[in-house]
């Protein structure tokens, strides 16, 4: 295991040089002693080379897209083009201050304005806010808009939001954060919303409905027209969680088929890097009647140029970010969209769907698949056969995949499929890499019969062996104890 950066520290070393003091006022004349700290923070004292070696050595312990397939369902781990990285680092993006006069930000504002327009077209929505910085914050923004809409209409009785049991955990967590009661909707035997049950639970108190489409089983919610009619008949709004939008580019415009609000995950669908957990971006699109509630500012254009527009501040839900969102992430998504164009976006979704169906077909004889039909961009297989017959569970299968150079699928999710493995290959994988992954999965199915012990012990070849995350909770160790 690598030493921590603190253990590499040696008094007097430094990894950066600073200019000499041009003005040398003593500290006590600047800041009264009573505010000063007595003990300096014990940051590491290391050279630039020490720092480089340390972090590069850490980097070698990560799986990443350029290393191998990353089939995490609903995470859309597609390739992140390098031109994004080159262009976003332009000083006239990187060194812009958010409070610069508008006249000095025209190029940046034009880019944001065009991105708003393109995302509106892709989603079929009337307007888009780029401010939310993550999918979950997009959800938060969308649910706040539902709250504001009902408040403006005097709908104080509307206290509940319906969410299918296949939804991501962020959906119920977000509704709770905004203050709505969550009503869970069971899925039917086809993996879709149970319409009979939905008719029972929709009533005058229903404020909205959150639906991931395609859902987390990789299935398109076929009944969307009935769902929209039913919800709209009680003036409830329909929110589309856009986590799986990579299946629909140029195929379906959600705003044209009954959805009122959608969030995008630019770090999934529009290929901005995941960064080991972020930053992402979670813009939100809405239909015409909800534009007044969008966060401020939005980008607008008139004869004088592009503007940070606060005109609807009185009706807006306010702000969800200190400034205008994750600008550098937005730039990358803009480049991606401009380079693909309408045909390229459609082609991306088509190939994502093709690749998922191909994998599903190759694996169906080896792993149980609950919902056997054509999938969209992802599908859910599970380890229930292996568990029953060989005492091997999905976690074992996931860990064995790591040994074979692949990342694991999303496991134990959605919660409605026991031993679930949610597999999303994305369109950027080639047939060769799909075959290599399928071969590995089939090998593992074989190994689980012949040598289940091997799977219990997996992974064997990774930088560390199976990590004890129970101990990480029991013996909580969140910071290094610095001694020197």
Interface residues for other proteins in 112-151 (CB under 8 A)?
Answer: 118, 121-122, 133-137, 139-140, 144, 147
> Is position 416 an interface residue for other proteins (rule: CB under 8 A)?
no
Q: How far is CA 196 from CA 187, 192, 213, 285, in A?
A: 11, 12, 19, 29
The interface region with other proteins, picked from 66-74, 194-202, 234-242, 442-450 by CB under 8 A, is 66-74
Interface residue with other proteins among 245, 286, 402, 421 (CB under 8 A) is 402
Return d(Cα 199, Cα 202) in angstroms, integer. Answer: 6
Whether 378 and 423 have beta carbons less than 8 Å apart is answered as yes
DSSP helix/strand/coil, 399: helix
| Residue 94 binds to other proteins (criterion: CB under 8 A) | yes
Q: Does 388 bind other proteins (CB under 8 A)?
A: no
- Restricting to residues 242-271, name those near other proteins by CB under 8 A: 249-253, 256-257, 267, 271
End-to-end CA distance of the chain: 20
Q: How far apart are CA 109 and CA 131, in angstroms?
A: 13
Size of the site for other proteins (CB under 8 A): 200
- Which tokens hold the place of 177? 């954060």
From candidates 156, 303, 314, 343, binder to other proteins by CB under 8 A = 343
Binding of other proteins at residue 204 (CB under 8 A)?
no
| 483 is a contact residue toward other proteins (CB under 8 A) | no
**Residue 51 binding other proteins, by CB under 8 A:** yes
Q: Smallest distance from the beta carbon of 288 to other proteins, in angstroms?
A: 17
Q: Rank residues 288 and 468 by Cβ distance to other proteins and give the closer one.
A: 468
In the complex, minimum distance from the CB of residue 249 to other proteins, in angstroms, rounded to a whole number: 8
> Between residues 225 and 453, which has the closer beta carbon with respect to other proteins?
225
**Beta pairing partners, 403:** none
Q: Does 314 bind other proteins (CB under 8 A)?
A: no
430 scored as a contact of other proteins (CB under 8 A): yes
Give the CA dihedral 196, 198, 204, 208, nearest 10 degrees.
-160
293 near other proteins, rule: CB under 8 A: no
Phi-psi region of 241 (alpha: psi -120 to 50; beta: other; left: phi over 0): beta
Candidate ranges 95-103, 204-212, 232-240, 383-391; the one touching other proteins (CB under 8 A): 95-103
Q: Does 372 bind other proteins (CB under 8 A)?
A: no
- What Rg value do the Cα atoms of the chain yield, rounded? 25
Residue 189, both tokens: 């035997």
Q: Considering the rule CB under 8 A, would residue 77 count as an interface residue with other proteins?
A: yes
Residue 16 interacting with other proteins (CB under 8 A): yes
Q: Cα–Cα distance between 210 and 149 in angstroms, integer? A: 16
Which residue lies nearer to other proteins by CB, 312 or 321?
321
Helix, coil or strand: residue 270: coil
CA-based angle 101:107:112, to the nearest 5?
A: 95
């Amino acid at each position: 295991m690598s030493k921590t950066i603190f253990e590499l520290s040696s008094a007097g070393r430094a990894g950066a040089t600073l200019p000499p003091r041009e003005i040398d006022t003593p500290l006590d004349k600047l800041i009264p002693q009573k505010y000063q700290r007595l003990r300096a923070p014990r940051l590491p004292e290391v050279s630039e080379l020490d720092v480089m070696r340390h972090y590069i050595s850490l980097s070698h312990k990560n799986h990443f897209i350029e290393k191998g397939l990353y089939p995490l369902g609903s995470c859309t781990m597609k390739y992140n083009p390098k031109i994004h990285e080159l262009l976003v680092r332009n000083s006239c993006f990187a060194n812009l201050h958010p409070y610069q006069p508008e006249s000095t930000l025209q190029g940046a504002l034009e880019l944001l304005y065009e991105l708003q327009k393109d995302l509106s077209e892709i989603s079929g929505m009337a307007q888009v806010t780029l401010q939310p910085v993550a999918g979950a914050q997009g959800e938060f923004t969308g649910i706040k808009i539902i709250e504001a809409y009902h408040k403006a209409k005097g709908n104080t009785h509307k206290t509940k939001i319906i969410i299918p049991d296949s939804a991501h955990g962020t959906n119920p967590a977000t509704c709770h954060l905004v203050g709505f009661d969550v009503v869970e909707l069971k899925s039917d035997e086809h993996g879709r919303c149970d319409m009979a049950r939905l008719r029972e639970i929709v009533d005058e108190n229903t404020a909205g409905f959150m639906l991931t489409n395609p859902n987390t089983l990789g299935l398109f919610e076929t009944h969307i027209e009935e769902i929209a009619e039913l919800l709209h008949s009680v003036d409830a709004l329909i929110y589309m969680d856009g986590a799986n939008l990579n299946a629909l580019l140029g195929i379906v415009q959600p705003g044209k088929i009954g959805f009122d609000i959608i969030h995008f995950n630019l770090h999934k669908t529009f290929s901005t890097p995941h960064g080991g957990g972020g930053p992402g971006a979670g813009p939100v699109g809405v239909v015409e009647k909800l534009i007044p509630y969008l966060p401020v500012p939005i980008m607008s254009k008139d004869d004088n140029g592009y503007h940070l527009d606060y005109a609807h501040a009185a009706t807006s839900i306010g702000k969800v970010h200190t400034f205008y969102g994750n600008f550098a992430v937005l730039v990358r998504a803009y480049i991606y969209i401009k380079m693909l164009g309408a045909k390229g976006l459609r082609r991306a979704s088509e190939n994502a769907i093709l690749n998922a169906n191909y994998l599903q077909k190759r694996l169906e004889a080896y792993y149980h698949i609950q919902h056997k039909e054509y999938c969209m961009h992802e599908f859910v297989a599970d380890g229930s056969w292996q568990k029953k017959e060989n005492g091997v569970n999905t976690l074992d299968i996931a860990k064995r995949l790591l040994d074979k150079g692949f990342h694991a699928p999303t496991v134990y999710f959605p919660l409605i499929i026991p031993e679930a493995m949610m597999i999303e290959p994305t369109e950027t994988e080639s047939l060769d890499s799909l075959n290599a992954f399928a071969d590995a999965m089939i090998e593992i199915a074989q190994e689980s019969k012949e040598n289940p012990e091997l799977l219990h012990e997996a992974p064997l070849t990774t930088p560390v062996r199976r990590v004890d995350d129970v101990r990480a909770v029991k013996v909580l160790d969140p910071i290094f104890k610095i001694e020197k």
